[in-house]
Amino acid sequence: NAIVSEYLMSPEHAKLELNHPNVKVEKCLDENLLNILGSPVHLSKTVMNLVSNSSEAMPEGGVVIVEEGLVDGRACMAVRDSEPGLPEEIDVFQLFVTTKPRGTGLGLSIANRIIEEHGGRLDIRPDEVGGATITITVPAEEDET
């Protein structure tokens, strides 16, 4: 919760909002979410990459929803957007693959690597009505403190 909330109040996110004024980011955080063990810097960059990718994928605007919860003893974060979707033939986890006119193509690849290094998994699922949901699951600590 702290990492997501801090990113959404950061100068980086404020810049994203200025560059994409028609995109609204909403958060739905589970106040009882267990902690995870990991690098706050790397996890923050992962949140930034996922929210940025979703925002940039909607040039006409839309909503990005960041949700958190606990699923089967694992901390889960989902980033949903209403972008048109990705062509099936594109492997977004490969380095330098991008669907944007300008971009490095590193965002999802780096996010995936960071989550794997934290013992977790990153999945992308297209939504039936357009858009996609990127879900991250990582081991949660039993102690809530």
pTM of the predicted model, to two decimals? 0.81
Q: Phi-psi region for residue 89, left (φ > 0), alpha (ψ -120 to 50) or beta? A: alpha
The pLDDT profile of the chain, 145 residues, written as one tens digit per residue, is: 889 999 999 999 999 999 999 999 999 988 888 888 889 999 999 999 899 888 887 888 899 999 998 888 889 999 988 766 555 544 455 544 444 545 544 577 888 889 999 999 998 887 776 778 889 999 988 765 4
Dihedral sign, CA of 70, 107, 125, 51?
A: positive
CA atoms within 13 A on the CB side of 6: 9
Single out the residue of 123, 125, 127, 100 nearest to residue 112, CA to CA. 123
SS3 63: strand
Distance of CA 3 to the CA centre of its chain: 12
